[in-house]
Structure 1
Amino acid sequence: MHLTRILLTKPKASEVLTAYLKQCNEPPWTSYFVKLKDVKNDQPGRSHFNWTLDTGTNYHILRTACFPYMKYHCTKRPYQDLRLEDIFFRVLKVMNLGLPMLFYGLAAIKLITHQEEVFLKGKKSVFIYFLYKEDKGSQY
């Protein structure tokens, strides 16, 4: 019963992010969507921030909700203070009432052509979605 409850618990969005970057052997970049209903949003309000893996590899993350998804764009880069950029992107989202991201999410429903499964220890795996299949390890 306890194991069943663990397996049915939604993973945190950050767990999916970390697991996918490791699953792909820390690619130079990636850009994916995850369904909002499949994860717990444990990074609310964060738009541009550093994400450092336990291996020491750092990524700059651009993140936004675009209903019915959460969009992540990840680039392997050295740690940098991204607080001003984070505030800037949040202000832009508020100023435009989030409408561009809503339309992007709705368009993505039709534009997504590829999906991959992210495996999480002790939790149900999650599918993430791509506009096109990425060449893992490609610089661009």
Structure 2
Amino acid sequence: MLINDPATLASLETAFDKYEVALTINDVPALDTLFWDSPHTLRYGATENLQGYEAIREFRAKRPGSALQRTIIDRSVTTFGTEFGVANITFHRNGETRTGRQSQTWARVDGVWKVVAAHVSWMDEPKP
């Protein structure tokens, strides 16, 4: 299997970067275009479990649009073949002591990278 073909990896990295900008400025229409429009799309958030594009879209439309800036600590993007990849990050937000984690599964749908599954969670800091 072809792992991290340079052209495929670069195109998924570009899609992920577009997602990150849209998320941090709360560009809901851009976020909507980055998710696969399907009842099979999943997004498990820190406080919600969303199944289906419409549920994800509705959540984004109602979510507060402030304090979304974050600092990515670690990032790993891997492609498998030319149509499938995963992106994982850890991040910090100002005022938050916990570390955030985000995993995304991406697939090319009609030639365009789309998030088909996503998960966001918080990890408590280890106790001394």
More helix by share: 1
Superposition TM-score, scaled by structure 2 size? 0.32
